[in-house]
Structure 1
Amino acid sequence: MAREGKRKIVIKPEEDGEESDPGHEEEPATNWKQLIEDEVKQTLPGVLRLCISNAKKQRHDLLKHTIEGVTATQNVAALVKEYAEEHLATLESITKEYASIHGQIGQYDSKLTNLERAVQSSRIPDSFDGTLDTSSYAPTDDQLSKHDFVTKFYAAAGIEREGEEDEEVMLQETNSVRNMSCPITQMLMEEPMRNPACGHTYSRKGIDAHMKLKSSCPVAGCPHKVANLERDVEMEVLLSRYARRGNSSQYVGASNVDSEDEEEVEHVVE
């Protein structure tokens, strides 16, 4: 009988100078690199959408603070003219600064909208350097003087400008009230929502009801669709200011009525 036993395995030592296959080592690194690139491509659009959403919220807050600031400046303009006219130039300078900030916000919003459209269509930029840069915005003093903020300041301060007549001012005020009406409900707007595609603004309840029937803009002749609605901060401030004026008028009216009642009572007593 043959004797059972373990077979010996002979291992040949590697000869000096023999190199291992470099491709075998590079292959895992190449795979990992591809996996990382694929992961970035998949997650980047979602991250960018989140960043854009946060940027829009910050833009809304900044715009609201800007409008509130310039509104406060306009409100004190008449008092300053009456009691400290020498400070009107300072208020005018502040108002022009607000107008410049408003222009920068507009340019920033335009760039942000372009980036959002690129992300939505899967056109991710290779570089984001300067994508939202607004440093190139440099309006002239003449351009700032024609800005809506500044013209309203002039009107509040009683500063007459060449070419402006009372009828034109009255027309602007009438248009402002009309523009605060919802094109759907024909009533004063509540929770104004702006359509970025065309710039039209509607009440939230009105546009929600309209969207259940149609997706087109309800403004006559507008060819755009209603999509990506956002808060209209400027309209919010206008509505708030309009409401305060209305309450003030009601208060004054009520005070006058009370005074008349008191006079009547005194007369009866006599």
Structure 2
Amino acid sequence: MSSSRSTRGPLGRTSAPHKERKEFDVLLRELAEIIPYAEKGIIFATESAVDLEQAEEQEEVIRLDKVVRECVDIERSLNFQKEALEKIKTKVEAGQEVDLVETFKSLYDSALEEYESATEDEKYFENNSYKDFRQKIWEVNHPDEAMPPLNGNEDDEIVMGKQKESLYCPITTLLLEEPVTSKVCKHTFSKDAILQLIRRNTNVVPCPMTGCDKQIMEHDLQPNKRIERKVAQYRAESDDPMHDVEYTSIID
């Protein structure tokens, strides 16, 4: 008896042979290895911006800003490819006959088209890596001032000024370690804690934050370097690790 019950149709169509499942796993693994390079590009540009001499280097800041935006675009494009492959893999494993090339192209093109039609706010100002880049530039030139909202909306600034965010992970209740923030609900967790929770629950878990009904998957998580700096600053300034002050104002 054959070990595979799948059937093959025309080129590019499949209904779940073992070979294709392995190929999906390889592609997803390769994408997972490539995507962090876009983040590294953003981090490099951010650290380079910190070393610049204020107004004298304005042209270089503009250039780096363009580099960061390009890295954000690349990262999103790679994630769209990864998400398309994951959706196709799910269909294949369910025994559905899928035209691999056309389905991938359709899913990817649709996601990319939606992204390209998004506003500047949606593409960059809500991206944690880009916000961290702009925050660091602001801190170099205005060390004692809160950064205004990137979109220039004064109402947003008023609201943000009243909000507080914890430097403690809601899962471990300890200070955040390698903080990551969910794109779907903006809550922040220690990286290892939330990843363990997600992987123990079939790759999706309700947000651990009390009162939040969003579902979180691994690809929804983004490193939050701004909060990581806040935690490092708090550790450095606090002689007592159990210090009562566990909140910091959101300023971005």
TM-score after normalising by structure 1: 0.53
Do residues 78 (structure 1) and 50 (structure 2) align?
yes
- For 2:59 and 2:178, the matched residues in 1 are separated by 40
> 1:207 offset after TM fit, Å?
3.0
Aligned residues: 204
1:94 pairs with 2:63: no
CA distance in 1, matches of 2:85, 2:179: 21
| Structure 1: runs of 5+ lacking an equivalent | 1-34, 255-270
Among 160, 174, 188, which residue is 1:187 paired with?
174
Which residue number in structure 1 is paired with residue 228 of structure 2?
242
Tell me which of the two structures has the higher relative contact order, counting C-alpha pairs closer than 8 angstroms and 6 or more residues apart: 2
1:146 correspondence with 2:146: no
Counterparts of residues 1-270 of structure 1 (less than 5 Å): 44-80=16-52, 82=54, 83-125=56-98, 127-133=99-105, 134=108, 137=112, 139=116, 142-143=119-120, 144-148=123-127, 149-158=129-138, 161=150, 162-163=152-153, 175=165, 177=167, 181=169, 183-188=170-175, 203=193, 207=197, 217=206, 219=208, 222=213, 234-235=222-223, 238=224, 242=228, 246=232, 250=236
> Which structure has the highest strand share of the two?
2
| More helix per residue | 1
In structure 2, distance between residues paired with 1:60 and 1:50: 15
SS across alignment from 2:171:
coil
Offset at residue 108 of structure 1 (A): 1.6
Offset of 1:105 from its aligned partner?
2.4
Could you tell me whether the CA contact under 8 Å between 1:192 and 1:232 is conserved in 2? no
C-alpha distance in structure 2 between counterparts of 1:216 and 1:141, whole Å: 28
Larger radius of gyration: 1
Which amino acid is 1:185 matched to?
T
Displacement, 1:241? 8.4
| Per-residue Cα deviation, 1:38-69 (whole angstroms, up to 9, x for no partner) | 67569953222222222222222222221122
Q: Distance in 2 between matches of 1:186 and 1:129?
A: 46
| Residue 232 of structure 1, CA deviation | 7.6
